[in-house]
Amino acid sequence: MTLNLMLTERELKLKSVQYRKALLRLIKACGAGHTGGDLSCLDILNVLYNRIMRVSPETFKSPDRDYYIQSKGHCAEALFVVLADMGFFPESDLETLNRYGSHYIGHPTRDVNGVEQNTGALGHGLAVAVGIALAGKMDRKDYRVFTLLGDGELAEGSNWEAGMTAAHYRLDNLVAIVDRNGLQITGSTEDVCQLSPLDEKFESFGFAVQRCDGNDVGELVRVLESVPFRPGKPSLVLAKTRKGKGVSFMENVAKWHHGVPSDEDFKRAMTELEAAQAAIA
Amino acid sequence: MMEQALANLEVFAATLLELAREDSGLLVVTSDSRGSAKLAPFAKAAPGQIVEVGIAEQNLVGVAAGLAAAGKKVFAVSPACFLTARSFEQIKNDLCYSNRPVNAVGISAGVSYGALGTTHHSLHDYAALRAVHNITIVAPADNFETREAVRAAAQLPKPVYLRFGKKKMPHLPRVDSAFELGKASLIREGAHLSFLACGETVAPAFSAAELLAKEGIQCRILSLHTVKPLDQAAVRKAATETGRVITVEEHSVSGGLGEACAGLLLQEGIHARFKIVGFPDDHTVTGSQEEIFRHYGLDGPSLAKAGRELLEKQ
């Protein structure tokens, strides 16, 4: 198993900006995408793939690899941008995203190299991750299973069924990360169907929970490097994020859930991201 | 008279234990259903190969998909009524769309639960799953087909839906003892009329054929144990050679075996006198499985009567 190239915190920050730029170019070019959620979860994906997970294009078929299941499948564009950067496929492949006949569609599918499971319907990822983690325990393997959940999708009861099973089988090789941006398509998650207090809910279901700033790569590294938080318990990272993170006029605005930037929006966003990049460099 | 043997469910459980002994990577996943699935002996004999998820059918299928993703050979077992309705989306996405070779096993299928009523009946499962891409649907007729089907399903690198009742089934005689998923089994040869049946309705179709034989009417009986993919050649041949076809299924007449056969014959321009026997679009009458079968004409004498009527029809 090859080890990830250990990027420094500064390099990770630069990656995040680079990913945001690539993401907006992609969404602008194909005219569709879940922009807000993509931007909120990009730092999490960045840290997972560049720092935490033991998986690469060379080891993707290895039975000992770490697994990643993206339960919030609608943020496929963010995943595709990161997978392309990791070398799972050429970035130019993404020019076909959503085009007639392309296997790059608006949700993750196993037709795309690097994708473990077809997702898109919400509330499915955690149960699949539980199954993979359980098999790992049975086979005494040391791989970990990471899954990214949207906060809005936690209204799906299947998550809580899977959560009970994760705790029942003491799956401390399972790490669920909630992209807690607080918004869903209708508005605030708390107005649509109150989720808080999520930490207490998951703790009562048997998870060891840690909160962090899900848009701070340094905090994400520290938290994710410390899994499992408690031996014998599945880990849950409550990652507080901002929907639309990184572009001022998209941040915390529900309409950017699947908004596509106009030419002017795109220009403004890129200018902001260039400035952010210059500040880090 | 046909000899009464075991319930197909019991043969399923026994076959699974044989397979588990041959392959330590085989797992059974249950949703508080090991007792009704006759899997208590399995749990005792192979405790490391059974995973319990509680009464949570969506989770049952999702977890099964994950286990399969990590290389396990998985049988996810739950009453057919819940498995194919509650977890329909998990079957569609996590198994079929993601191509996970899980065997989803619907137990106590059709109207096996009798007077427990509609919540516990599965008369929709063929229709629902026929419309889902990448799944094989299998309803074995007797103990022989059950054993063969379970073994074949375990080898198939694709999702399978297996459907079993819990009634003791007779050993059916068969013209050819070969078994292959997707190939109809010829149970009895005849030139006047064909019964195309599946699952627990093959036995009453056979009884009807025996009654009609006494009147000089020779019936062909095909067990279409694989409802999908349909053995089109066998259906085509039966319709062409006998000219009269009765399909029989423990399922709604909408979207099941009968409509699959009708669709095939109509599109190919094969004309046959044709009748679909199944459950009408109505509340199911209360009673035991046997009484319900009789009520809707799925018992031997009723099917014989349907055969006579089809022969008389101009």
- B214 and B65 together in one domain: no
CB B68 within 8 A of CB A131: yes
Annotate A146-182 with three-state secondary structure.
EEEEECHHHHCHHHHHHHHHHHHCCCCCEEEEEEECC
CB A10 within 8 A of CB A221: no
- B258 and B147 together in one domain: no
CB-count burial class (<10 Å; 0-12, 13-18, 19+) for A272: middle
Strand partners, B273: B244
CB spacing of A127 vs B72 below 8 angstroms: no
With a cut of 90, say whether residue A3 has pLDDT above it: no
- B83 and B97 together in one domain: yes
With a cut of 80, say whether residue A151 has pLDDT above it: yes
Count of CB contacts below 8 A, A vs B?
Answer: 97
With a cut of 50, say whether residue A222 has pLDDT above it: yes
Question: Which DSSP letter does residue A72 get?
Answer: S
Q: At what angle do helices A217-224 and A35-47 cross, to 10 degrees?
A: 50
pLDDT confidence bin for A104, thresholds 50/70/90: very high
- B29 and B147 together in one domain: yes
CB spacing of A131 vs B69 below 8 angstroms: yes
Q: Structural domain of residue B201, as residue ranges?
A: 173-312
Q: Is B68 on the interface with A (CB under 8 A)?
A: yes
Chain B partners within 8 Å of A118 (Cβ): 93-94, 97-98
C-alpha–C-alpha distance, residues A30 and A40, integer Å = 20
Q: What is the mean pLDDT of residues A128-155?
A: 98
Q: Which residue of B has its CA nearest to A144?
A: B70
C-alpha–C-alpha distance, residues A217 and A212, integer Å = 10
Q: What is the pLDDT of residues A49-70, one digit of tens each?
A: 999 999 999 999 999 999 999 9
CB B234 within 8 A of CB B224: yes
pLDDT of residue B83: 98
- B264 and B228 together in one domain: yes
CB A169 within 8 A of CB A187: no
C-alpha–C-alpha distance, residues A71 and A117, integer Å = 9
User: pTM value?
Assistant: 0.96
- B242 and B198 together in one domain: yes
CA distance readout (Å), B274 to A179, B239, B262, B306 = 57, 9, 8, 11
CB B92 within 8 A of CB B132: yes
- B144 and B161 together in one domain: yes
Last residue of a domain, one of B169, B197, B221: B169
Q: What is the pLDDT of residues A165-182, one digit of tens each?
A: 999 999 999 999 999 999
Q: Is B62 on the interface with A (CB under 8 A)?
A: yes
pLDDT of residue B313: 81
With a cut of 70, say whether residue A5 has pLDDT above it: no
Output the CA torsion A146→A151→A156→A162 (10° steps): 30
For the complex shown, is ipTM > 0.85?
Answer: yes
pLDDT of residue B67: 98
Highest CATH level, class, for A9-280: alpha beta
- Cis amide bond preceding B301, omega within 30: no
Q: What is the pLDDT of residues B47-91, one digit of tens each?
A: 999 999 999 999 999 999 999 999 999 999 999 999 999 999 999
CB A57 within 8 A of CB A94: no
CB A144 within 8 A of CB B80: no
CB spacing of A164 vs B54 below 8 angstroms: yes
Q: What is the CATH number of the domain that holds B222?
A: 3.40.50.920
- B155 and B275 together in one domain: no
- B165 and B202 together in one domain: no
Q: Is B70 on the interface with A (CB under 8 A)?
A: yes
Which residues of chain A are at the B interface, by a Cβ-Cβ cutoff of 8 Å?
63, 67, 109-110, 116-121, 123-124, 126-136, 138-139, 157-158, 161-162, 164-165, 168
> What stretches of B100-142 show up as alpha helix (H) in DSSP?
125-130
CB B101 within 8 A of CB B156: yes
Residue B145: φ, ψ to 5°: -65, -35
- B148 and B249 together in one domain: no
Q: What is the mean pLDDT of residues A76-97?
A: 97
Strand partners, A213: A240
With a cut of 50, say whether residue A225 has pLDDT above it: yes
Output the CA torsion B194→B196→B202→B206 (10° steps): 0
Last residue of a domain, one of B109, B136, B169: B169
Strand partners, B49: none
Low-confidence ranges of chain B (pLDDT < 70): 1-3, 314
pLDDT of residue A165: 98
Q: What is the CATH number of the domain that holds B115?
A: 3.40.50.970
Question: Which DSSP letter does residue A3 get?
Answer: P
CB A122 within 8 A of CB A71: yes
- B217 and B122 together in one domain: no
pLDDT of residue B4: 73
- B116 and B190 together in one domain: no
CB B102 within 8 A of CB B53: no
CB-count burial class (<10 Å; 0-12, 13-18, 19+) for B157: exposed
The minimal CB distance from A131 to the residues B56, B62, B99 is found for B62
Strand partners, B136: B160
pLDDT of residue B72: 98
Chain B partners within 8 Å of A133 (Cβ): 66
Question: Which DSSP letter does residue A50 get?
Answer: I
With a cut of 50, say whether residue A231 has pLDDT above it: yes
CA angle B54, B59, B63 (to 5 degrees): 105
pLDDT confidence bin for A254, thresholds 50/70/90: confident
C-beta neighbour count of B209 within 10 angstroms: 24
Provide the domain count of chain B.
2
Q: What is the pLDDT of residues A207-216, one digit of tens each?
A: 999 999 999 9
CB B94 within 8 A of CB B100: yes
With a cut of 90, say whether residue A236 has pLDDT above it: yes
CB B10 within 8 A of CB B169: no
CB A158 within 8 A of CB A127: yes
